[in-house]
Amino acid sequence: MKQFEENNIFVPSSVYWQERAAINLPYLPYFSNCKGYGQYIPIWGITEQNYECVLVEVNSTVYMSEYSFRQAPKADSCFEVVVECVYDEVWSDDQESLTRWFEVDAETALFDFSINPISASEIEGAEFSENDVLSVAPQGGAGGLNTAPQSVALSIQFYQYSKRDKRLIAIDISFGKL
């Protein structure tokens, strides 16, 4: 937003976005000012470097195939990773703006996650098809205008199909304590 002669002038989004339909990020969108992470939460930060995660050495990994009957996997895992964040959004009771990410209707996609790992250096120009991503959408919706959740739960489930490779199979987000 630019200010010109005491009037606010909004620059059209096409100036920034140009012809892009999406922008790829190596971090979780909407989550910022989080304890232990700062301005951004890199995806690898919560799945590989959190104290609640158990990383199994490659040689000790036991992965599952479609023929792995009566076997138990031994793979990387993270349970109940808790991250505390502070909202960055501007609050105003008379605000007439676009719906904020935590005010969306049920099953409205907030963002997409690649089902396969991709490095931060490769993600910028990557093209993804519908089959390459899973959409993240709150199942129960949100609390409504100017109602922010006190907790947000993000569940990420993956399938380890080789000693080194994983694939995202489910991702869900839910809002609590509205």
Q: Which of 35, 44, 36 is nearest to 86 (CA)?
A: 35
Query: How far is Cα of residue 93 from the mean position of the Cα atoms in its chain?
Result: 28
Render each residue's pLDDT in the chain as its tens digit; 178 residues. 444 455 555 555 666 666 767 788 889 998 888 888 888 898 888 888 888 889 999 999 998 887 888 888 898 888 888 888 888 776 666 556 677 888 888 888 999 999 998 888 888 778 899 999 999 998 876 666 777 888 888 899 988 888 888 899 999 988 887 6
Query: How far is Cα of residue 129 from the mean position of the Cα atoms in its chain?
Result: 18
Tokens 């199979």 belong to which residue? 169
Bridge-based pairing of strands 151-160 and 77-78 is unpaired
Domain ranges across the chain: 23-87+99-176
* pTM of the shown model: 0.78
The tokens for 45 are: 């930060």
**How far is it, in rounded angstroms, from Cα 11 to Cα 6?**
16
Full DSSP string of 148-161? --SEEEEEEEEEE-
Write down the number of H helices and E strands in the chain.
3, 8
